[in-house]
Structure 1
Amino acid sequence: MNFLLDNWIWLLTAAASGGALLLPMLGKGGGADAISPAEAVQMINREKAVVIDVCESAEFSAGHVVGARSVPLATLEGSKGLPTNKTLPVVLVCASGARARRAAATVRGLGHQRVHVLQGGMAGWRAAGLPVEKSA
């Protein structure tokens, strides 16, 4: 017992650092795997991943991942924009990643097995210097 009392600062430091290591895992959101923009590009090129942008139409028109499908979050459940092959990887994108994390639970509920959220959303995509397409 004296050991714990004498070394409480070290125990507190160890607990805090362990919590800091677990924090990124907890932030991935809703059972979906968060992937970096580079990982998303590899998945698109190698595994024919389908990119679904869950932003509103005006946001989508202002700039989106090249080849992405626009399926606003509110229309996700009844949409025909999701791939019929539920084994294809799906990469969900929004402006920052928050809506995409919410959409991940819905897409998984619709039976898609490989659901991923783009870390940082379109802001992360642009920061990585990757191409952005605009709609007319």
Structure 2
Amino acid sequence: MQFVIENWMLILVAVVSGALLLRGSLQGGSGVSPAEAVRLMNHEKATVIDVCEPAEFEQGHIGGARSVPLGSLDEAKGLPSNKALPLLVTCASGARAQRAAATLRKQGYQDVRVMAGGMRAWREASLPVVTGAKG
């Protein structure tokens, strides 16, 4: 009990961080798997939005993906005009894609999903990668 009293601040930080991690996973923060991403593209005609920087995009991306760097998302012209169509957002590891998805939802897109693990997970699943500026 003495430990708890002396270290109440550390315990509070641990509890809050655990709660935030749990909240993210319960809200679907982990995103969709590469296999689910393929299903979305093939059966629901999801548009793939890659928010990597242009140099990263050229090094490898999903075929047919649209390059819309995260920094230019607010004024991007490469986004679909029909905001009801599904969007699949990806980046190198998934972190930027989470931020991009939040921005896209604020812009009115109704079905925005993030690929868990980004291009790293896509490559690990041995799925095809396109190099160069165009998909």
Band the TM-score falls in, shorter-chain normalisation: 0.7 to 0.9
**Per-residue deviation, 1:57:** 0.2
**Per-residue deviation, 1:26:** 4.6
Normalized per residue, which structure has more strand? 1
Query: 1:38 maps to which residue?
Result: 35
Query: 1:117 maps to which residue?
Result: 114
Query: 1:78 maps to which residue?
Result: 75
User: What whole-Å deviation, never above 9, does each CA across 1:3-56 have from its counterpart, x for those lacking one?
Assistant: xxxxxxxxxxxxxxxx7xx47725743xxx710000010000001100000000
Distance 1:70 1:23 in 2: 30
Distance 2:92 2:26 in 1: 21
Q: Which runs of 5+ in 2 are unaligned?
A: 1-18
Distance 2:76 2:23 in 1: 34
Normalised to the residue count of structure 2, the TM-score between the two structures is 0.79
Q: Which runs of 5+ in 1 are unaligned?
A: 1-18
The percent of aligned pairs where both chains have the same amino acid is 59
Query: 2:7 maps to which residue?
Result: none
Query: 1:25 maps to which residue?
Result: 25
**Per-residue deviation, 1:124:** 0.2
Query: Which amino acid in structure 2 is aligned with residue 47 of structure 1?
Result: E
Query: 2:102 maps to which residue?
Result: 105
Distance 1:104 1:34 in 2: 10
Distance 1:85 1:24 in 2: 28
Equivalent residues in 2 for 1:120-135, closer than 5 Å: 120-135=117-132
User: Of residues 44, 58, 62 in structure 1, which corresponds to 2:59?
Assistant: 62
- Deviating 4+ runs (over 3 angstroms): 26-29
Distance 1:87 1:47 in 2: 11
**Per-residue deviation, 1:126:** 0.3
Query: Which amino acid in structure 2 is aligned with residue 75 of structure 1?
Result: S
Matched, 1:89 2:86: yes
Normalised to the residue count of structure 1, the TM-score between the two structures is 0.78
Distance 1:37 1:98 in 2: 15
